[in-house]
Amino acid sequence: MSYDRSAPKRATNLSLNADLVKRARAVSPNLSETVERLLAEHVERQDAGKAARIQASLEMLNAFYEEHGLVGEEFMPI
């Protein structure tokens, strides 16, 4: 995962469903570690999605340039 795992821990207040927390504690002895891992995975997926959208946009723009040339190119000085 692409974050500094050696960064210091910081206390954070979260509002979570009490029943869900109770059930999570029953299956995960370290709730903080579990939440941190899941949050890191979520951030990584979001970053990957953003990178994929940027790449797709660049490919579309390049295809447009290949087909039509640069917009306003006829007005550029030689």
Q: What sign for the dihedral angle of Cα 42, 44, 50, 56? A: negative
Tens digits of residue pLDDT in 36-72 = 999 999 999 999 999 999 999 999 999 999 998 887 7
Helix (H/G/I), strand (E/B), else coil: 30: coil
Q: What is the pLDDT of residue 75?
A: 79
Q: What is the pLDDT of residue 68?
A: 87
Q: What is the pLDDT of residue 73?
A: 75
Tens digits of residue pLDDT in 3-42 = 899 999 999 999 999 999 999 999 999 999 999 999 999 9
Q: What is the pLDDT of residue 1?
A: 55
